[in-house]
Amino acid sequence: MATQHGKGGAAEHSAPAVVATRPASPPSPPSQDGKSAHGASEVVAINEQANAPEDAVTTVDELEASKKGRFAYFKTKDFYIVLVLGQVLALCVTSTNTFSSLLVAQGTSIPAFQTFFNYVLLNLVYTSFTFYRYGFARWCRLVLRDGWKYIILAFLDVQGNYFTVLAYRYTTILSAQLINFFAIVTVVIVSFCFLRVRYHITQVIGILICIGGVGILIASDHITGATSPENPISTGDQVKGDLFALLGAFCYGLSNVAEEFLVSKRPLYEVVGQLAFWAMIWNGAQAGIFDRASFRTATWNGPVGGYLVGYTLILSLFYSLAPVLFRLSSAAFFNVSLLTGNFWGVCIGVEVFGLQIHWMYPVAFVCIVGGLLVYFVGRKVLGEATKPWLGRNQEGGVMGVGTARRKVVKGANVV
């Protein structure tokens, strides 16, 4: 996980300050917290602002005026980072889906317990680092003040993982991957209603083009019979599996929006650490209740152990990279990017499950990628990094890797 930068190694830990064209006063001590208009605590680092040249501190309007035109965002390095990062995450999701299918094929279906190791690993890394940065007393204050937010986030995340993995007990890898479509709908509606996000016409068109690409994939699956009950990875009750996948997508959509909101205002290590801490508790309790019978009847051998290790490592990488994409872009683009996972899933399935690539799959992939490009047409230099709930100059946000506030403070040299 990328670390945040600040004077003397302190990262993202100062009192809120409004960004102006010139720093008006020295930064406040790095231990003070503020409150946002939405009630969430802010930890805004401005140590870098004190070290930066005076002419590097600017406003959002000045920064976005540095490049003009409908393709201004395409001229920034952030565009390519976002595009590549989205596909890396899509490959991560496809890989974890593949491991889930392989576990089911071995006779091991433990939806809650399977994800438990991921939260343990994330805890060891991020919660430990949070203790190092905050100290035990401050960590306890964080839990008392903001713990309820992370408890809700963790619950949604655990249920998303649980029902998605459970879906593989009944349906196929290709069918279950279509859950991303409903997650997009959830993200767009929740972001519009609660976070005041307003979507540009090209963003709507881009999303529709991507969904059209998924439609081509569905048509191809029906033509080739890839999602039929005769598929050896499915147990035949595919409708039940698809319903579980839909419920998982709904929980994922809610958790994505919540995480985008939190990670824009708090350090990455705090958000991921708190998510993992509470999710480990939720997940452990759920595994003890629902997975006891499955655990006793599961197959335990070398391949199953290898699949669990691969699933845990890749899922932990996914959890480490996703918050960066939430900062650079949005939960909507995050979910749209994951639609290419259907194509990557078939590419992997050719070798692992003996699937056939229909000629419509490359067409669908090109359609989805084209939709991702259209999504950013008309966007300015900062793209979706500027969050409407953080203020005009993002003064309500944290100054960390990928945030618009960091770009505003450091100037045009970061875009």
382-403, pLDDT tens digit by residue? Answer: 889 999 999 988 999 999 999 9
Measured CA to CA, the distance from residue 161 to residue 114 in angstroms comes to 9
Mean pLDDT confidence for 67-87? 89
Q: If you average pLDDT over residues 2-19, what whole number do you get?
A: 40
C-alpha separations of 52 from 2, 228, 408 in Å? 20, 60, 11
Mean pLDDT value across residues 185-196: 93
| Confidence band for 363, pLDDT divided at 50, 70 and 90 | confident
pLDDT for residue 18: 39
**How large is the average pLDDT for residues 85-98?**
91
Across all residues in the chain, what is the average pLDDT?
80
Per-residue pLDDT at 250: 93
**pLDDT higher than threshold 60 for residue 29:** no
pLDDT the model gives residue 364: 84
Whether 73 shows a pLDDT value over 80: the answer reads yes
Separation between Cα atoms, residue 89 and residue 180, nearest integer Å: 13
Residue that wins the pLDDT comparison between 181 and 269:
269
Distance CA 123, CA 284 (A): 13
Per-residue pLDDT tens over the stretch 314-360 = 999 999 999 999 999 999 999 999 888 777 877 777 777 666 677 78
CB-CB contact of 340 with 369 (8 Å): yes
Backbone phi, then psi, for 337, in 5-degree steps?
-60, -35
At residue 217 the predicted structure's pLDDT band, cuts being 50, 70 and 90, is confident
According to the model, what pLDDT value does residue 113 have? 87
Q: Which of 2-11, 100-109, 227-236 has the highest mean pLDDT?
A: 100-109
* Alpha carbons 229 and 170: distance in angstroms, whole number: 9
| Maximum separation of any 2 CA atoms in the chain, in Å | 70
What token pair was written down for 380?
Answer: 């300015």
Strand, helix or coil at 41?
strand
- pLDDT tens track for 243-262: 888 898 899 999 999 999 99
- Between residues 49 and 380, which one has the greater pLDDT? 380
Question: Residue 178: CA atoms inside 13 Å, Cβ hemisphere, count?
Answer: 20
Give 237's pLDDT tier (boundaries 50, 70, 90): low
Which segment, 217-226, 253-262, 356-365, is predicted with the most confidence on average? 253-262
User: Is 50 exceeded by the pLDDT of residue 48?
Assistant: no
- The model's pTM: 0.80
Note the Cα 395 to chain centre separation in Å: 23
Q: Using 50, 70 and 90 to split pLDDT, how confident is the model at 82?
A: very high
| pLDDT value at residue 227 | 47
Element of type H or E holding 201 = helix 201-224
DSSP 412: G
Residue 43 has pLDDT above 70, yes or no: no
**pLDDT value for 361:** 80
The values of phi and psi at residue 34, to 5°, are: -125, 180
Average pLDDT score over residue span 169-185: 71
Average pLDDT estimate for 117-138? 96
Question: 3-class DSSP state for residue 105?
Answer: helix
Report residue 65's pLDDT band, with 50, 70 and 90 as the boundaries: confident
CA distance 4 to 45: 9
Using CA atoms in the order 364, 78, 386, 65, what is the torsion angle rounded to 10 degrees?
Answer: -110
Region 109-121 average pLDDT: 89
Give the mean pLDDT of 264-293: 93
Query: What end-to-end distance do the CA atoms of the chain give, in Å?
Result: 21
pLDDT at 260: 97
Q: What are phi and psi of 35, to 5 degrees?
A: -125, 140
pLDDT 10s digits, 96-113: 888 988 898 898 888 888
Most confident range (mean pLDDT) of 38-42, 159-163, 223-227, 234-238 is 159-163
Sign of the alpha-carbon torsion through 232, 235, 240, 245: negative
Helices and strands (DSSP H and E) totals, the chain: 17, 2
What does each C-alpha distance from 201 to 232, 321, 357, 374, 379 come to in angstroms?
42, 28, 33, 10, 11
C-alpha to C-alpha distance for 311 and 318, rounded to whole angstroms:
11
Is 68 buried (19+), middle (13-18) or exposed (0-12) by CB count in 10 A? Answer: exposed
Does the pLDDT value for residue 39 go beyond 80?
Answer: no
Whether residue 118 is predicted with pLDDT greater than 80 in this model: the reply is yes
